[in-house]
Each structure stands twice: as structure tokens, then as C-alpha cells.
Structure 1
Amino acid sequence: MYSTPDPLADPPEHSATAKAQASTPQQPLANQILASASRFARVVTQASDIPISAVSMRALGYIERHGPQRISRMAAYESISQPAMTSAVNRLEEDGLVVRHEDPADARAQLVVLTETGRQLLDEYRQQVATVLQPKLEALSVEEYSAIERAVDLLNSLTDDLTGNA
């Protein structure tokens, strides 16, 4: 009998031994944060059951946060090539999640704009993530929950410092 794997469970390569190695002093905290945050985001995205790629979902979120964007800026933010971001935007446009408008500052350029359908998909994604994750968070002790709240604040502060948005 086949059972669906729990997307929030550790895969075999993340056994207790692998976890112990990940938290050793040989790996700087900066690397541990990046590895943990990346893995967490990947697992939560898989659990959300949204039918678009993680890059596409991040692109929608970026447009929502920063307003209409040029593809070149989105590619730079995601650290991917402009052709790769163009492909992602093309798929988003085909799915009705974004539209392109002429950039009023430069008629040769286009801005990618989030549609209402794109906004609804973001909301659906966030709801699905909350449905999967919130029960796990509520099972934590008060101290653990508070520690995660504080970690989120600190990560946001570090992100703002790194992006110059402080």
C-alpha cells in the first residue's frame, strides 16, 4: 500500500546524524540559517499544493510587495538569468496571474503587474501554508513559539539590513 509522504517530515537524508552535522561549529551560523530557511521554504511550498513553481510564486510575492516591476529587476532579485525570469513571467502571463504594461518612464520597457487572479493565488497559497503549518506551531511550547516569533523579527531585520531597507 502506498502512502503519501508527509511534506513536513524529514526526508531520509535529514536523519538525526545529518541534523547533528548541520549544527556543528564547523558550519558558520550564516550558512546554517541559509540552509534551514531554504529547506523550510521548499518543504512548505511543496506542502501548499500550488500548481506553479517556487520561483513563480516568489515573483508574484515580489510584485505584490514592490509594485509593478521590470523583468530585469525581478531576475536580479532572484539571482537568476533574465531569460529564466522571462520564461517564468511568460508562464505567469499565460495563466492570467500577471500582465505587462508599458513602463511610463521608458516606452521601450515593460512592467510586470499582478492581476487579481495572481493576488488570489497568493492568498490561496498563504492560506494553504497556514493550514499546514499553524497546527505544528500551536503544538510548540510558549517558549518555543516566542523564540520563533523573535527569530522571524531578527531575520526580517537582517533582510532589511542586507537590502538597504532598514
Structure 2
Amino acid sequence: MTVSPSDHGPGGAAELLDVVVRLNRWVTHHSDWALPLAQVRVLSQIDEWGQARTGDLARVEHCSQPTMTTRVQRLQARGWVARASDPLDARATMLTLTEEGRAVLADARATRARVLQALMAHMDAPERERVQAATRTLGALLEIAYANHRHEQNKTS
């Protein structure tokens, strides 16, 4: 079911989220990759943060710490994730991507991009330009979200 902009607040926020989620799901479903999606998400999250703790990844992925530990162990066994001591907490370890992990993630992203590019090939040039403009606008919205989040974290620290 598609949500109309008037159903949930100003500016079509619910509709935007619905479309983004459905597009992401469609691209993921039609991407030809052997890697489980959960592993791609973990690699992507570590890439975004630069380094991560297993517990933080579990919270973001809405799973238990033992589940995330298993995922991380699989990634580490493949040589895609490395562990290092956390300089702020001797009991914890920080996870980073290895060069091979970055290459695997880049390949997964390229696979997904090809699926979307094939869809966009059916659009005319003005439509593709509007998608590019919307992408830039959504990127700016995401930057606002991150800036607000950092600001809120600094207030509580």
C-alpha cells in the first residue's frame, strides 16, 4: 500500500520513506550477489563509521549482540573485517574493514547500482536529471540529520 503525502504530515515524508524503502527492496531483490544482505549491511555500516563496536552494530541492526557477533565472526573469517583493541576501553574491540572488505562492499554497491541504472535507462534525460537533483537534495537532508544528531550527542556528553 502506498501512503499519500496528506496521510502522515507535511511535505510527503511518509510517501518519501515508502518510496525509498520500496525502491531499495526492489533493487536488493533484483541484485545478483551471493553475499547475504545482513553481511552487506554490516560492512556498509562499518564503512560509514570508519570503525565500530559489535554492540553498536547490533543496536543499529536491531538484533541481539550474539547474532551480531556471529555475523562479525563470519566477516572476519573471510578476511573482510579486522579487530583492534579499543584505546578507550581495554575490554572492547573496534572493527574496521580490510582492503578486501572494502572491495567486496564496493562490488556489492556496484551490483546494486547496475540494477538501478538499468531501470533509469528507461527514463528520458529530463527525468534522469530530476532524479539526480532529488538525490542531491536527499543527500543534503541526510547531512542535516547527521549534523543534528552530532549536536544532540554533544549536548549530552
TM-score (normalizing by structure 2): 0.78
Which residue in the other structure is 1:48 paired with? 31
2:3 is the alignment partner of 1:22 = yes
State which drifts further: 78-87 or 47-56. 78-87
Distance 1:88 1:34, change over 3 A: farther
Of the candidates 123, 130, 134, which is equivalent to residue 106 of structure 2? 123
DSSP-derived class of the 1:51 partner: coil
Mapped partners of 1:71, 1:144: distance in 2: 41
Q: In the alignment, is residue 111 of structure 1 matched against residue 94 of structure 2?
A: yes
Distance 1:75 1:163, change over 3 A: farther
Q: How many angstroms apart in 2 are the aligned matches of 1:75 and 1:145?
A: 36
Q: Output the CA distance in 1 between the equivalents of 2:79 and 2:18.
A: 33
Distance 1:129 1:79, change over 3 A: same
Q: What do residues 89-135 of structure 1 show as CA deviations (whole Å, max 9, x unaligned)?
A: 22222332212111122221101111222111112112222322213
Shift of the 83–162 alpha-carbon distance from structure 1 to 2, 3 Å rule, reads farther
Change in CA separation of 1:32 and 1:91 when aligned onto 2, cut-off 3 Å:
farther
Identity %: 33
Query: Partner of 1:14 in structure 2?
Result: none
The answer for the alignment partner of 2:78 in structure 1 is 95
CA distance in 2, matches of 1:54, 1:60: 10
Q: How far off its partner does 1:24 sit?
A: 6.0
Distance 1:85 1:68 in 2: 15
- Letter of the 2:6 counterpart: P
- Structure 2 segments unaligned to the other structure (5+ residues): 152-157
Q: Give the unaligned 5+ runs of structure 1.
A: 1-17
For residues 155 and 57 of structure 1, do their structure 2 counterparts lie closer, same or farther at Cα, with a shift above 3 Å needed?
same
Whether 2:141 is the aligned partner of 1:153: answer no
Is 1:133 the counterpart of 2:116? The answer is yes
Aligned to 2:55: 72
Distance in 1, matches of 2:38 and 2:13, equals 23
How well do the aligned residues superpose, as a CA RMSD in angstroms?
2.4
> How many residues end up aligned between the 2 structures?
147
**In the alignment, residue 25 of structure 1 is paired with which amino acid?**
S
Q: Distance in 2 between matches of 1:151 and 1:55?
A: 27
- Taking structure 1 as the reference length, what is the TM-score of the superposition? 0.74
**1:52 aligns to what SS in structure 2?**
coil
Report the AA paired with residue 117 of structure 2: Q
